[in-house]
Amino acid sequence: MTERVTFSPITRLSGLLSAEATVENGRIIDANTSSTMFRGYEWIMCNRKITDAVYLTQRVCGICSLAHGAVSSYLLDQVFDNDISENAQYLRNIMYAADFLQNHIRHFYLFSLPDFVVMPNKPPFLNQNLTDARLNAQDNQRLVNNYFEAIKASQKSHEILVLFGGKAPHQHSFVHGGVAVAPTADKINRALALLSDITEFVRGCMIPDTELISSVYGDYYKIGITPGRLLSFGLFRFGNKNEEVIWRSGVLNENKLSIPDLSLIHEDITHSWYEVNRDITSQPCLEPAPFKPGAYSWIKSVKYAHNFFEVGPLARMVINGFYRGSTSTMDRIYARTLETSLIVQLMKDWLTQLIPGPPPIEQKSKIVRERVIAVTDAMRGTLLHSAILENEQIKEYNIITPTVWNFSPKDQYGNRGPVESALIGTEIPSNDMLFTILGRIIRSFDPCLACATHVLDANHKKSVVF
């Protein structure tokens, strides 16, 4: 028996996402994941001053906004050839790490936990659809209590960001040339106190809760497995020119690790709602085509060296040697918590080495590069911003986000992106388990569809090359 099932909308994630699965004899044999929202931030960026990039691109997303602010600042540092002081780098990375913490804590507890834990039967959990609850009553209640404590821990992470960034989300001070807020002694001490509370929660709640879930639901180490190709652009930049990273970049394919080559990144629109406009009166570019035959997502397919790659905490932890495991649903969940525990220690080290003083910022005003590409890793994986300038204004701007990598639709040859690959072959023991299993697999990637829907110059080609 073959059945086509639609899961829409998929809740407890950022943005609008749907999935269609073909189930045959209790097994998923085909799957499409579809972003159903269009935004077009690259169009918004055109004809603006390049210095606007830090502020505008942060509006791409509210839950990971500093990621866009950080990579656009790195981009601007290249445009002006800025020199970044050590104190500025400590402060930048403290802010960025704080934003990582709020995201990872929220993802595990607010997004993922209701897939495994029976929540109170009241809003927002009224009539929870959980058909595979395995925890005993005592453990279940402990995790419910920690769910609400996680909100406080995430809030404290944002408070650290606010101390140095002015507001959260969409901070104001992590800009090109450094940081525009003074790291005073009282702010550093307040940040250390907040971090102490967050660390206590991560080590006392999040780590044991993750270990419990991974033990009780251990079969998910064999569910939602991707082909094992992993990619990272590196994370937490230091050095006078942002040239050093604490966690290294890497391309892991067939157990071989290499350094990323940005020229090998390609985007494809075969199954995306875009078409190339070849009007002779204008430069060829991509335009929305919501009725395009065969298309099913606003996300474009993005590949490295002609292959799809998974990105995110699991990729970072494996590439940096912190984690050994597979690429399953539970591996992704476990790796995210592992990364959280590593970040709190890094933050403590950076805060103790941060020197109180004036704002560590020195901005140059002369543009020295008009074609630039900047990369980093964000909460969900690799993030790339590129720009072409003309007379100090943005002529072209492109963004490739983590969710574009993970939720790529099929390419022109029918090859599937990481999430669709993770769904294929999944066994569905009963009809009432379908949405539970689909939700667990998909949410383990920490989807952010707000970040994933953009347009770019096609340069006369259907498959765009950078």
Domains contained in the chain, CATH given:
2-465 (1.10.645.10)
Whether the full predicted model's pTM is greater than 0.85, yes or no, is yes
Confidence (pLDDT) at 454: 52
**CA-based nearest residue to 298, from 17, 54, 21:** 17
Q: Report yes or no: 442 and 226 within 8 Å, Cβ to Cβ.
A: no
Confidence (pLDDT) at 124: 84
Strands 301-304 and 265-268: antiparallel
Q: Kindly report the CA angle at 267 between 11 and 41, in degrees rounded to 5?
A: 60
Confidence (pLDDT) at 456: 42
pLDDT tens by residue, the chain, 466 residues? 789 999 988 888 887 889 999 999 999 999 999 988 777 788 888 899 999 999 999 988 877 889 999 999 999 999 999 999 999 999 999 999 999 999 999 999 999 999 999 999 998 888 898 999 999 999 999 999 999 999 999 999 999 999 999 999 999 999 999 999 999 999 999 999 999 999 999 999 999 999 999 999 999 999 999 999 999 999 999 999 999 999 999 999 999 999 999 999 999 999 999 888 766 444 446 788 899 999 999 999 999 999 999 999 999 999 999 999 999 999 999 999 999 999 999 999 999 999 999 999 999 999 999 999 999 999 999 999 999 999 889 999 999 999 999 999 999 999 999 999 999 999 999 989 999 999 999 999 998 877 665 544 434 333 333 3
Confidence (pLDDT) at 458: 39
Confidence (pLDDT) at 16: 85
